[in-house]
A and B are shown apart, each in its own frame.
Chain A
Amino acid sequence: MSRLRPQEDQTVVRMYRHGHGDCFLLAFYRANEEPFYVLIDCGRKPGSHDYLDGTPSMDDIVDNIWEATGGTLNLFVLTHEHQDHVCSITKSRFDRFNIEKAWFAWTEHPTDPLAKELRRRHKDTLVALTHVHQNLQAVGEHDVRKELEFFLGLELGDTSDLSFAASDPRNSTNKKAMKLVKEKAREREGIEYLNPGEVRFLFGGAQAPRVAVLGPPRSQQLLSDEDPKGSEEFHISQRRGLSLVGAVDPSQETLQPFDGKYVACKLPLDQQTGPLDFLHEHYGTGQSDKKLSAKECDGTEIGANEEWRRIDTEWLAASTDLALKLNRGINNTSLVLAIRLPKTGKVLFFPGDAQRGSWVSWSDHTFDFGSQTYTTKELMADSVLYKVGHHGSHNATLDGKEQDVYPNLSWFAQGDRASEFTAMIPAVNAWALSVPNPPWVHPLPAIKRALEEKTGGKVLQLDTGVPEKPEAVEQEIWDDFLSRTEQHELYVDLRIEDQ
């Protein structure tokens, strides 16, 4: 292993094959200087590396980053605060690095009022979810609890001590990772919070690549991409006690929807002293009348108070929907970057895990590159690399036509760019499908197929690496692609020429 040094007018994008998650190292050529190294994200879902050949350890991956960069990260970009993007950034692994500068989305800005409001909302929801989780813990084995744990893992970075995380989400693994990068960058050139519409030089000198910031959008509504109509539920104090969130909050009294005179008894029933006959007969407590085998029951009528018909915890299942909304909300805080190479104008497109709500906002901006301005459509048209959002999931790569008004896959790579266009999917499909109840479909076959069609088969997926040539693709194009890729156990490199 050695230092990663691109040739003159070359950029190398290294996708690490560390597990289900993002970790990308970009090396840009600089004349008379060491290359400029950018690390975008560093995290994975726990256990997902077991599904990869050689079950790579994160320490090995970070050692590789160390060797490839000589220990200096000129820029560390953290797209958004999710486990599979940040959780591997620990003190033991990264303290030795020299982090010159860090980029975050404006949503991380400590004093921006909108950012603060968003963070407060997300925190509220997160706390509510941990409350639901605690409620379910009392019940024992539960599908919804397991599903919640997967989501809470994404939000917190670690689920080993959820009760602790619930009491103070600021100490989550994800938060610690973000903090570490911020602290280290602050010692050097500092932290920058990027706003959509901005254009930044990657490094000094007129010949440096420039970066257009497309997201996250500043509009609150778009950002949430939650049911845009009914999203206020959790943010009002009035009558909050009547919602699910209010009912699970141990610090709050659960409000009742009806006058007390209608109440026959409190639940759970088995703790009642004066039992109510109706409920005992038609709902039941504890075990049903008698336990018979299936064979004995076949053809008979069910009992009146069967256990399997009760609904004591069904109402908590709505929390998975809430968790999904929160997840989408955080995904949409992803920093969306289009990196434009100086000579050819080729664009490397890194959208984090931006979902629909972010995508549809990108065309709100035009980008001032000094000598020229570019629209989002033009930047996408110049793209030669697309880092596929959210592991190739539903709603994180929009499908559409070129003439559509919202950005979508067909906007990418027009004209000459088409033959070079490559997609990278940081996903471990077998692991994702092993997630129980319900399995995660990453990447979604429909999206993967659309990508394969769009790129002419040039889809580099983290788990499967360099693909086979599709029959219809010209040999020349494929040979060029192969000559620019290099596959290794720990990573796949893609070289991009800027001349």
Chain B
Amino acid sequence: MSLVRKSPSKRMLRVFAFDPSLSYRFETLELSEVELAINWEELTPGPVGEYLEVVDVDPGSGVAYHPVDLNHPFIVAEDGLSPSESDPQFHQQMVYAVAMVTIRQFERALGRVAFWSAHRWSDESGYADQFVRRLRIYPHALREQNAYYSPQKKALLFGYFPVTRRDENNTPGTMVFTCLSHHIIAHEVTHALLDGVHPRFNEPTNPDVHAFHEAFADLVALFQQFSYPTVLKNQLRVTWGSLESENLLSQLAQQFGYASGRNSALRDALGELDPETGEWSRKVPDPELINKTWGAHSRGGILVSAVFLAFLKVYRRRTDDLFRIASGNTGVLPQRELHPDLIERLAREAAECAQRFLQMCVRAIDYCPPVDITFGDFLRGIVTADRDFNPEDDDGARVAILQSFREWGIHPTGLQSVGLDSLLWNTGEEVIAQAGLSSKEYSQAQESLRRRLISKRNKNDGKSGYLNWDLESDRAQVWSNLADVAPAFWGWLYDFPRIAEALNLVLKPPVPPTVYSKDEKKPSVEVHSVRVAQRRTLEGMFQNDIVVEVTQRRRGYFSREQQQQQDKSGAEISYREKGDFEFRAGCTFFLDVKTLKLRWVIPTAGRVDDDFELERVRRFLSGDYAAGGNAFSCRMTTSLQDGYESREPFALLHREDS
């Protein structure tokens, strides 16, 4: 009988810390490489694992490269291939490793396994929703200064380009590979993860939607780099422990930025270069900026700065005592290098604090409306999610965020006051009370939902119900179980129209005829996502929720007259008639897994019959803000009628700001 060994828990893989540029400079040479501990999983060459498949075809060069076998004993023995720009197999290893770290962050924060967005398509026979197990990564897909996530292909495409500039930061003829930038990888995979949670965040219906996608991806990339102790300690030394002056940790994509001639990193959450003098200076919060900045990246940059400055506030507060001790309570630090022990302690605080902010941001995405996200919604999401996780706010992170957002002019719309409490989304009790439901009706509704959910479970032999899963489960099975319970909610909402109304849905007449209806003027409701979140709060309690997103659709027309005509006529509209654009509204709601009580209700700005909201979306789509356009298009879906689909929303975004 042979000895059976348990598989190891981690696989160590070496990567460039930020990107190869740190290895070009003497001062940063020691920081250029880090080792990542990746959860062990079975890998085949590619690498191809449970979540990712790296496929290295390079159509621009007309070749494909050998896939790396990370199980090869020589590679395992050396903790992966050593960082190299000239070895495409190292590139494959690096995109895999950094993407896996990012995925893990998500799973930890959200308390469930990560899914990529489903492959949705249709033909004459009907609609298909298919499970996509692996995000595909093409490390050498493009010959341009770009990298993007393709929602259509469920793939990340990275570009490479030759440097053409000659200056102190660049050598002409050298190559820049975007797949070797830690930030770019983390940023792109975050786009994909966010798309897996909120596929409708691809549909811009206000200037914040795409900006949010960009900002969120940047935030994840930024906070993730605080988990590299060597870099963190070095930068704490450089900034005298404050992280408030120019430093690598607030920047994104250094090599890319320099190679594209910016004289700086691609983005910087903390400061900016004066275009005239080239001097770095700290950004000063400007509440007016949000009202005149429309490009997705620059607008997203406002959100990134708001969160990052809040992070610094909390970090400062957490380390005040250390600085007092180190300065002998004078507030003046000694004029030599900070003590290594102090650096050590500061690094621990900074890393924990960054981790806290990262988790806080990621957790918040469950607490967002299903469509039409705004920065203000995100703020409310952060506050509500964090309240669930950490009711006391003992480190003041929520107040710091609230204050910082205010300084940058980010307000949720339609709120009377801006205290922390008023930012919470509506609780289930409030919503039920407002809807005037008696406790009897409410408990009937809960009971009915329970029966429906149980019958689903029975159908699946009782084994594979929506709750029977953990991080070890087969993701395809979990995915299909969740897909199975969606109809239960759907039927439930029709049976309890008052609950549906309380959830921002429109079921009772009069309903504008442009709202999509199933049959006989019964407005359609789409349960477009059911998720389960299992979380352990800071106090050690478990909170398990079912998160459900429901939306309704309405045909929107660019011409107001046409809209009025269609809505006034009262005549039924053919299902084939699609209008010029789709207007969606609905809500996200949380149910406690055990009691099935409504915990939170997160509605869109209006209901599907809200003409004011429809007009707002219409104006936005027809170029009202001149947001992120070019001389020809406003880069918006302007007509579904013509079958126009935005080709690669994120590719365009990444090219746009140049």
Contact = CB atoms under 8 A, between A and B. Distances in A.
Interface of A: 143, 227-230, 232-233, 235-236, 238-240, 242-244, 247, 254-259, 262-267, 269, 276, 278-279, 282-283, 293-302, 308-315, 317-318, 321, 324, 327-328, 331, 355, 390, 393-396, 399, 433-442, 444-447
A309 B136 contact: yes
Given A258-B86, A262-B66, 7 more contacts: A257-B175, A257-B177, A263-B64, A265-B64, A297-B128, A311-B59, A441-B629
B560 interface: no
B132 interface: yes
A312 B165 CA distance: 29
A294 B123 contact: yes
A302 B131 contact: yes
Interface of B: 45-46, 48, 53, 55, 57-67, 86-89, 119, 121-133, 136, 138, 140-146, 150, 152-155, 157, 159-162, 164-165, 172-173, 175, 177, 259-262, 476, 480, 483, 619, 622-626, 629-635, 638-639, 642, 644, 646-648, 651, 655, 658
Nearest to A355: B631
Given A311-B138, A311-B153, A438-B638, A254 B61 contact: yes
5 contacts: A242-B162, A278-B45, A308-B153, A315-B60, A438-B632
A439 B642 CA distance: 10
A264 B64 contact: yes
Contact of A298 (B130, B152, B159): B130
Nearest to B483: A299
The 3 closest A-B pairs by CB, nearest first: A229-B261, A294-B128, A295-B125
Contacts of A239: 162, 172-173
B125 to A, nearest CB: 4
Contact of B164 (A230, A328, A355, A442): A230
A266 B631 contact: no
Contacts of A283: 55, 57, 64
B87 A390 contact: no
B642 A436 contact: yes
B261 A267 contact: no
A279 B55 CA distance: 8
A447 B625 CA distance: 9
Contacts of A266: 62-64
Contacts of B65: 258, 262-264
Contacts of A446: 623-626
A371 to B, nearest CB: 36
Contact of B161 (A233, A396, A437, A444): A233
Contacts of B63: 256, 263-267
A314 B160 CA distance: 14
Nearest to A446: B626
A278 B642 CA distance: 39
Given A257-B175, A294-B128, A321-B655, A437 B142 contact: no
B260 A298 contact: no
Contacts of A264: 63-67
A286 to B, nearest CB: 15
Contacts of A309: 136, 153-155
Contacts of B144: 244, 315, 318, 321
Given A295-B125, A308-B152, A439-B638, A315 B142 contact: yes
A242 B631 contact: no
A445 B48 contact: no
User: Which of B173, B483, B624, B634 counts the most chain A CB atoms within 10 A?
Assistant: B634
Contact of B48 (A262, A282, A390): A282
Contacts of A324: 630-632
Given A266-B62, A267-B64, A282-B55, A233 B164 contact: yes
A439 B633 contact: yes
Given A257-B61, A301-B131, A394-B630, A238 B143 contact: no
A257 B152 CA distance: 27
Contact of B651 (A263, A282, A317, A445): A317
B622 A445 contact: yes
A257 to B, nearest CB: 6
A299 B631 contact: no
A276 B64 contact: yes
A440 B651 CA distance: 19
B122 to A, nearest CB: 5
A229 B64 CA distance: 32
A243 B161 CA distance: 6
Given A227-B658, A302-B132, A445 B619 contact: yes
Contact of A444 (B133, B173, B634, B658): B634
A324 B658 CA distance: 12
A95 to B, nearest CB: 33
Contact of B140 (A232, A257, A294): A257
Given A267-B62, A279-B55, A311-B157, A298 B162 contact: no
B86 A441 contact: no
A437 B636 CA distance: 10
Contacts of B89: 262
A283 B123 CA distance: 23
Contacts of B119: 302, 308
Given A229-B260, A230-B261, A298-B127, A238 B629 contact: no
A410 to B, nearest CB: 14
B87 A294 contact: no
Contacts of A236: 164, 172
B94 to A, nearest CB: 15
A299 B128 CA distance: 7
B143 A243 contact: yes
A298 B484 CA distance: 12
B410 to A, nearest CB: 22
Nearest to B634: A441
Contacts of A313: 59
A244 B172 contact: no
B55 A298 contact: no
Given A436-B644, A441-B634, A446-B626, A294 B61 contact: no
A394 B624 CA distance: 11
A267 B62 CA distance: 5
Contacts of A393: 631-632
Contacts of A331: 631
Contacts of B45: 278
A413 to B, nearest CB: 22
B122 A328 contact: no
Given A299-B480, A393-B632, A438-B635, A230 B260 contact: yes
B638 A232 contact: no
A230 B55 CA distance: 29
Nearest to A435: B632
A53 to B, nearest CB: 18
B141 A294 contact: no
Contacts of B146: 318
Nearest to B637: A438
A390 B633 CA distance: 12
